[in-house]
Amino acid sequence: MRRPVRLGAVSYLNVRPLVYGLDARPDLVTLRFDVPSVCASLLAEGAIDLGMVPSITYLNRPSDRVVPGVGIGSEGPVASVALFSTKPVHEIRSIAVDTSSRTSAVLLGILCARRFRIDPAWVPHEPDLTAMLARADGALLIGDPALFADPAPGVQKIDLGEAWTDLTGLPFVWAFWAGRPDAADQPIVDLLQEAAETGMRHSDAVADAYCAARPERQPLAREYLRRNLMFRFTARALEGLETYYREAASLGLVSGPANVRFFSEPEV
């Protein structure tokens, strides 16, 4: 009897529909939750077999395979990845950057160069909006801290998902399941795809359970899962991802682009 596949997922609301019901299959998978950067590190260390990893991680592991049809994406406003600023965007000279996701930091670098036309200084910082804005003109937050932020009067929220789609006309892919080519066979791929489909059908219940301790957040959480996120990794999503890789490489933010390969594809 083989051991269960070790899954590592992001510890934010946005991943919960994709892991719906997986706790009922301990014979096939185990699951742990971490911030995106830790999830990527665990995959690199071999502590997990498949990770719901930030999309930038794939560039460091180009031999990995991606579970087809499943991911965390957006087309237009994403609500949970944003630049908060006390100044008009063209006046920003420094940005405090949440260190928990390199994907969003690289995206912000692309947007600063291609859309906002600014070249700010970067200040690594823990995700605390008030403290970040005390140190810099702008603050990059991701995940739940960005989604549920209650900024002070005069602080604007610039949605990076919306800015990307405005720039490219394409979706943005934030994360996906990835791992070594031998990490997932067809039954595991099927299980993850089925979990995502079931989770999408039960997204209101997912949101309510996640925010049970803060019921005032439940309406926003429901809307977020319904309207802001896309959980199917489509052909257009792949086009958006590969455009992101090319833009990042062209600006020298990463070493080079990559061709994404899926578990369903044969070895060549």
Q: Closest by alpha carbon to 97, among 72, 128, 118?
A: 128
Parallel, antiparallel or unpaired: strands 50-54 and 5-10: parallel
State the pLDDT at residue 1.
Answer: 59
Q: What is the reported pTM?
A: 0.93
Query: What are the φ/ψ torsions at residue 237 (nearest 5 degrees)?
Result: -65, -40
Q: Closest by alpha carbon to 100, among 43, 54, 37?
A: 37
Per CATH, 5-72+173-221+234-250 and 81-168 having the same topology is answered: yes
What is the amino acid identity at position 232? R
Measuring CA to CA, how many Å separate 82 from each of 56, 124, 181, 244?
Answer: 17, 15, 33, 17
Q: What number does CATH give the domain 5-72+173-221+234-250?
A: 3.40.190.10
Residues 66 and 260: beta-carbon distance below 8 Å: yes
Q: Which fold has domain 81-168?
A: D-Maltodextrin-Binding Protein; domain 2 (3.40.190)
pLDDT digits (tens, 9 = 90+) for 223-232: 999 999 999 9
Per-residue pLDDT of the chain (268 residues; tens, 9 = 90+): 578 999 999 889 999 999 999 999 999 999 999 887 788 889 989 999 999 988 998 998 889 999 999 999 999 999 999 999 999 999 999 999 987 778 999 999 999 999 999 999 999 999 999 999 999 999 999 999 999 999 989 999 999 999 999 999 999 999 999 999 999 999 999 999 999 999 999 999 999 999 999 999 999 999 999 999 999 999 999 999 999 999 999 999 998 777 899 997 645 4
Residues 172 and 74: beta-carbon distance below 8 Å: yes
Domain map of the chain by residue range?
A: 5-72+173-221+234-250, 81-168
Dihedral, 14, 17, 22, 23 alpha carbons, nearest 10: 70
Would you call 265 helix, strand, or coil by DSSP?
coil
Q: Closest by alpha carbon to 103, among 85, 124, 81, 84?
A: 81
